Amino acid sequence: MSVVETAQGQLKGVVCEKNGAKYIAFKGIPYAKPPVGNLRFKAPEPPDPWEGVRDATEHGPVCPQYNERMERIDPGNEDCLYLNVFTRAVSPPRPLPVMVWIHGGAFYTGSGNSDFYGPEFFMAHDVILVTFNYRLEILGFLCLDNEEVPGNAGLKDQAAALKWVKRNISAFGGDSNNITIFGCSAGAASTSYHLVSKMSEGLFHKAICQSGVCLNEWAYNFYGKQRAFQLGKHLGKDTNDPAELLEFLRSVPALSLVNIQLPPLELKYLDIADSIIFGPVIEKSDLKVEKFLTEPPQDIVKRGQIANVPVILGYTSGEGIEIARKLSGILGFMSMVGAVVPREIKLKMTPEKLKAVDELIRQRYFNGEEVTMKLIQKVSNLESDKLFMYNIRRFARYHVKHTSSPAYLYKFTAETERNYLKKYYKLDSLEGVCHADELPYLFNVTNIEIPLTDESRGIVQTFVQLWTNFASTGRPTTDGQWKPFTETEQNYYVIGKTQTCVLNENQENMKFWDDIYEEIECVCTTDCSST
């Protein structure tokens, strides 16, 4: 048994020995007040203290959700704002670097629990790992554009967790002046939001974004308030009054707010990014409450409001498989003019310009052919570039332009029996590593059968070493093999069965998108459609 003293009270952890790693786990630690009753949809409030020694040997409840990995509803509990701390020693010879994981899941599914994010691979190194839950879907991202529900409660939960870590992690042997935040997909987009939000300023010292940044169009929602009223109607409350809608939504059982399917909004242009119905929004700047985000992320990043900390940014080699797996259901959409054009620039275009750019993109990726199931590989290639890679690289370019800290870019290419998702989607014929298929190389997954062989164990050791090196020193390789990305020397580190640093990865396609984005920035006038 191990007991530590936090600002809220004492915690009793449990010693674990698993997969050759020995460590102490403190689970189910409340980092905010339960967001229930009148606190539903509100920003998190500081946690209450407790008396005596609190048992911290089991995970707290997860946020009510549809668990996509296990294909089931997890009722969880609205009282879900808990975090977990894993450490090799609460009194190490020197304070240990801290790594705080922000889980992904399209802002509607996932948790920090060890069944998928098992800490054992990290516990082979001198770091402390923190994982946590935050509110999801409607509970985390409802927006009424008013002071009662301005939006982004889930991101504010994350900031509250970071505040708790900053204040308390020294009790677990951690260095509160050496905290790295990292995440994948929606967790990576969230990580990059903390890089640009003033609410998170000073709470961390390095960041790793795996397969996502706030510039990716799926990472922000323009239509939060419209979706809120559409939700009310869907659940039986047809009203235009925000106060009436809020009162109704606070009375609805939490499970009625899970896995909500709403029809597309009547918009000038439909977009695949709008399929994430509840996610981060741009809060109204005149509201008299603390706000997480009040401008479109691209405006903030272009202006250079980016935390001056070292970053790692990267992607898997087949990100677009995540979209291609749904191709049979979106063929009708893919045939529409503008379907292949990024939302950010689509909304600035005249119809004539949209048609011309749409044709240009289709010519480059599909040779002008009509999109059918036969083009599934080409659709995957397009969406890899459009929905993931281009804006990850774009974020890196702004980071190195506006800060004095290094950016390291990577491409993950390793394929072994630990690549679970592509097999699960039955898309082994497609090229590359599927979105999120690098996660089993960082975490000890136990809720899904994923083997660990000598070959994949070597990749695990290399991958985790890179991440823990970076958390410790701000440099992922001790020998300088992984060189920083700069505007003039665009280095990428290829992480596969072997590792190598390459220049100008996917350069021709990246230049193609540069030209499209830059042309739209130049021609867009006040007559353009505004978001």
Query: Distance between CA atoms of 357 and 369, rounded to whole angstroms?
Result: 15
Distances (CA, A) of 179 to 127, 272, 435: 10, 35, 26
Would the pLDDT of 529 be above 90?
no
161: left (phi over 0), alpha (psi -120 to 50) or beta: alpha
Prediction pTM value: 0.97
Among the listed ranges 19-33, 37-51, 255-269, 512-526, which one has the minimum average pLDDT value? Answer: 512-526
- What average pLDDT does range 193-197 have in this prediction? 98
What is the SS3 assignment for 154?
Answer: helix
Residue with tokens 């509990």: 77
Would the pLDDT of 224 be above 50?
yes
What pLDDT is stored for residue 528 in this prediction? 42
- What average pLDDT does range 306-315 have in this prediction? 98
For helices 242-251 and 224-234, angle between their N-to-C axes, nearest 10 degrees: 60
Among the listed ranges 127-141, 362-376, 508-522, which one has the minimum average pLDDT value? Answer: 508-522
For 332, residues 6+ apart whose C-beta sits below 8 A from its C-beta are none
Q: pLDDT for 34-92, tens place per residue?
A: 999 999 999 999 999 999 999 999 999 999 999 988 889 999 999 999 999 999 999 99
Which letter does DSSP use for residue 73 in this model? Answer: E
- What average pLDDT does range 482-505 have in this prediction? 97
446: which 2 tokens?
Answer: 């136990």
Domain boundaries, the chain: 1-175+217-294
Instruction: Kindly report the number of other CB atoms within 10 A of residue 499's CB atom.
Output: 18
61: which 2 tokens?
Answer: 């409840």
Q: pLDDT for 231-266, tens place per residue?
A: 999 999 999 999 999 999 999 999 999 999 999 998
What pLDDT is stored for residue 523 in this prediction? 46
What is the SS3 assignment for 401?
Answer: helix
CA geometry: angle 12, 15, 18, nearest 5 deg: 145
Question: pLDDT grade, residue 432 (50/70/90)?
Answer: very high
What pLDDT is stored for residue 530 in this prediction? 37
Q: pLDDT for 114-142, tens place per residue?
A: 999 999 999 999 999 999 999 999 999 99
Query: Distance between CA atoms of 100 and 180, rounded to whole angstroms?
Result: 6
For 143, residues 6+ apart whose C-beta sits below 8 A from its C-beta are 149, 150, 151, 152, 221, 224, 225, 227, 228, 281, 283
Would the pLDDT of 452 be above 50?
yes
Query: Distance between CA atoms of 493 and 408, rounded to whole angstroms?
Result: 8
Q: pLDDT for 273-282, tens place per residue?
A: 999 999 999 9
Query: Dmax over Cα atoms in the chain, in whole Å?
Result: 69
**Exposed, middle or buried, 521 (CB in 10 Å: 0-12/13-18/19+)?**
exposed
What pLDDT is stored for residue 160 in this prediction? 98
Query: Distance between CA atoms of 21 and 180, rounded to whole angstroms?
Result: 22
What is the SS3 assignment for 203?
Answer: coil
User: Please, what sign has the CA dihedral across residues 299, 152, 387, 201?
Assistant: positive
Average pLDDT in the chain? 95
Question: pLDDT grade, residue 525 (50/70/90)?
Answer: very low
Would the pLDDT of 338 be above 60?
yes
Instruction: Kindly report the number of other CB atoms within 10 A of residue 45's CB atom.
Output: 13
Distances (CA, A) of 391 to 129, 144, 216, 332, 529: 28, 29, 6, 26, 22
Among all residues, which ones are annotated catalytic?
A: 185, 319, 435
Would the pLDDT of 388 be above 50?
yes
What pLDDT is stored for residue 457 in this prediction? 96
What pLDDT is stored for residue 34 in this prediction? 98
Question: pLDDT grade, residue 520 (50/70/90)?
Answer: low
Would the pLDDT of 267 be above 60?
yes
CATH number attached to the domain at 1-175+217-294: 3.40.50.1820
Alpha helices in 172-284 (DSSP H): 186-196, 224-234, 242-251
Residue with tokens 């499209």: 516
What pLDDT is stored for residue 522 in this prediction? 56
- What average pLDDT does range 404-409 have in this prediction? 98
Query: Distance between CA atoms of 243 and 256, rounded to whole angstroms?
Result: 19
Which letter does DSSP use for residue 528 in this model? Answer: S
426: left (phi over 0), alpha (psi -120 to 50) or beta: left
